[in-house]
Structure 1
Amino acid sequence: MTTTARVLGLDLAAEMSGYAVLPDGPVGTITAPKPRGARRTLADDLDRLDHVARAVEALLDKHRPNLVVLEDYAPGLRSSAAHRLAEVSGCVRLAARRARVPLVLAGVGQIKLYATGQGGATKSAMAVSLYKRAGLEYGEDEVDAWWAAALGADHLGAPVVTVPAAHRAVLDRIAWPVLGGAA
């Protein structure tokens, strides 16, 4: 694919999700609305899902990526946050499907391997790698999303950063979608 390939990388969380549109789009966060009261209610949860879904739909509509790379759930995630994350992720997956943008799930360790060469790297190690390789500085959520998008851009043949061959080997271990159709 040519260097016009555009990838949306997403690092989802219940309260604040990172996004990056590479090679030339914005990098930022989607912050969930605050609960109305002292305790989060079903209405608050629905507001959060609607807010994230609309934000991702707007990114898809405005930037028209060729691929969405979504950081998959962390292995062993077991908590009430896991349920909220699953709900948010479902909304995002559906938004990509409706926009007819192929979606790939990249494991947390796969993104870390691509970024640093270490599957168990810390978020700070990923940020350091981003600074060393691209001269960029972002918060933790944006860093993960940036690396997810970079991984996808490399797969499309339009790398936005140079990483060692050992890091790139992770590309062969991801179940990439067939491009050109709905995910």
Structure 2
Amino acid sequence: MTIPGLIEPGALSPLADLVTAPEGLRVIGLDLSITSTGVALPDGSTFRIKTRQKDGDVRLLVIRAAVRGALLDHKPHLAVIEDLPTKMRPTAVKGIGGLHGVVKAELLDAGVPYAVVAPATLKSYAADHGRAEKPAMAAAAFLAAGAEFADDAGGDQCDAWWLRAAGHDHYGAPLFSLPEAQRARLTKVNWPTEVPR
């Protein structure tokens, strides 16, 4: 289903030299937001799914359609999703909670297993601090792999990129070197026991 005028794709921001996965593992990273969802595709490129508040719940359909398209085009073995923040306004919880449900249902329909990573775990994995701000996350991505993200003021693409990297790390196909202490933070995540390849 296409809904004209509701989706404004973010600029794809492929790295000069894409960091590709060893052993053929394909992971998609999803930083879900009702206004600006960040997506990191299995090839390492990133984009945003932007929606408008005035479109209400129809935004769920826009994001679902974009995620469905990414799943069909890239056939990931695994999706890694950033969990809900621990502190949110009650009205915000309704929107983002609904979005999580829609995206998880899409992943289940596509047969793509997923892991959910707490924001503090992702930040400590990426930047060695559970309260790292967006600039620190972006700097850590640049230091780790030379990654830069176009049109990413909110850090959505950067977070999605780190989520993808976390999936690779956990399943023994790291994309770059990180201190072992940072990698150990991923043991807090409830990972799928088996990822089809």
Is 1:3 aligned with 2:18? no
Measured on the aligned residues, the alpha-carbon RMSD in Å equals: 1.6
Is 1:158 aligned with 2:169? no
Could you tell me which residue of structure 2 aligns to residue 89 of structure 1? 100
For the residue of structure 2 that corresponds to 1:3, the secondary structure is helix
Q: Distance in 1 between matches of 2:187 and 2:98?
A: 29
Q: TM-score scaled by structure 2?
A: 0.82
Is 1:29 aligned with 2:48? yes
Identity level (%): 35
Q: TM-score scaled by structure 1?
A: 0.88
Q: Which runs of 5+ in 2 are unaligned?
A: 1-20
Report the Cα offset of residue 143 of structure 1: 0.3
Q: Distance in 2 between matches of 1:29 and 1:142?
A: 6
Q: Distance in 2 between matches of 1:154 and 1:146?
A: 12
For the residue of structure 1 that corresponds to 2:192, the secondary structure is coil
Could you tell me which residue of structure 2 aligns to residue 167 of structure 1? 182
Q: Which runs of 5+ in 1 are unaligned?
A: none
Corresponding letter in the other structure for 1:166: A
Number of positions where the alignment pairs a residue of Structure 1 with one of Structure 2? 172
Corresponding letter in the other structure for 1:151: A
Could you tell me which residue of structure 1 aligns to residue 33 of structure 2? 13
Could you tell me which residue of structure 1 aligns to residue 143 of structure 2? 132
Per-residue CA deviations over 1:89-140 (Å, capped at 9, x if unaligned) read 1111111000000011100011111101111111110000011111111121
Q: Assess if the C-alpha contact under 8 Å between 2:27 and 2:79 holds in 1.
A: yes
Q: Assess if the C-alpha contact under 8 Å between 2:115 and 2:192 holds in 1.
A: yes
Q: Assess if the C-alpha contact under 8 Å between 1:17 and 1:31 holds in 2.
A: yes
Q: Distance in 2 between matches of 1:74 and 1:62?
A: 29
Q: Distance in 1 between matches of 2:64 and 2:45?
A: 17
Could you tell me which residue of structure 2 aligns to residue 148 of structure 1? 163
Is 1:57 aligned with 2:79? no
Q: Assess if the C-alpha contact under 8 Å between 1:71 and 1:107 holds in 2.
A: yes
